[in-house]
Amino acid sequence: MKAKRKRIVPVLIGIVLGILPSSGGFSQPAAPTMEQAGPHESDASFADYKFRDGETIPQLRIHYVTLGTAHRNNEGEIDNAVLVLHWTGTDGRDLLSPSYRKALFDEGRPLDSRRYYLIIPDNVGHGQSSKPSDGLKARFPNYGYGDIVDLQHKLVMETLGIKHLHAILGMSMGGMNAWQWAEAYPTEIDGIMPVVSLPVKVSGRNLLWRRMVIEDIRSDPMWNNGNYTKTPQGLVHGYELVRLMIDGVPHFQATLADTAAVNQFLNQVHHQADKVDANDLLYSLKSSTDYDPEPRLSAIQTKVFALNFSDDEFNPEELHILEHQITKVPRAQFIVQDGSGTSYGHFTMAHPELWADHVADFMRSIARPIR
């Protein structure tokens, strides 16, 4: 697996100063092997929850899954917790898929659930957590990425009683949330690994396609101000754009060789769109408007290992945004992994077998003895 544009010089400086371990001579400290536990599903409930814009909801539910067993150190604190965060429009079930478990969570893998206590929440607006399609529809309170992180923090610190996370692994929206965690709670995490995300506000083509999908939904008479009775066609058209953006150009070139292949692809997209709720998608897309970690990057104290893909159309490598912004983060490194006809652009995040080795590198870089 070829990787490119790795930030080398600052990492070497970190090795000399003792900040970061070298990948060559580093060995993972021994830790007790624990029997795999879970997955266990549960719900956290918050009464009369108030969002950042002042809107409230009588009862807010955050669904989550834990995998593995919490280990407590000599002070009685959980010290092996890893928060794993999903992307827009999905939920924790996709992170418990056979491919994720085999590549990341099984015995001997980078996030071995016999070693780590994995916490996988459904963010507000997604999955089995509170969301517009539960009944409030367009009357559901508006939420932003700040609200999403607030609720993740309440789940970890209040519901689960964890004062310090060993790591956060987040994909796309989850990666953006990881950047927010590093800024909001600088002493509460050993390291973050944002995958396919940028530490700047959503702008350019990334902002444009979101606005186009939102307008596709809202301009459709079938949407009826959120009170639709069947899937609006605007959602179907918008979802075509989502799929166009989320996959990689080399992959499309390799797999869409003729009209028959394109027709099959579009049929698959339309079938997927029928399972998506328009209000849920609309809310999740507009929730990114408050995201802007750039001004506080230099204040991040935790270790950062950022991973992007060169065929990602959401975060185009040719803009060199990650390469530029990462220099502001004191203890950071990044990799842009080459795309190919067998990778999936932005959606490579859903195929962790293609990038699990980088997760192993990240976990080694933050390893410490578990006491």
pLDDT per residue as tens digits for the range 300-330: 999 999 999 999 999 999 999 999 999 999 9
Angle between helices 233-246 and 204-218 (to 10 degrees): 160
The answer to whether the pTM exceeds 0.75 is yes
Are 351 and 263 in contact by the 8 Å Cβ rule? The answer is: no
Distance CA 56, CA 60 (A): 9
Domains of the chain, first to last: 3-200+292-365 (3.40.50.1820), 204-286 (1.10.1740.110)
Question: CA angle 101-106-109, nearest 5°?
Answer: 105
**Residue ranges of the chain with per-residue pLDDT less than 50:** 1-33
Distance CA 207, CA 205 (A): 5
- The confidence score (pLDDT) of residue 37 equals 76
Coil, strand, or helix at residue 167?
strand
CA dihedral 149, 154, 159, 165 (to 10 degrees): 60
Both tokens of 260, joined, read 């028959």
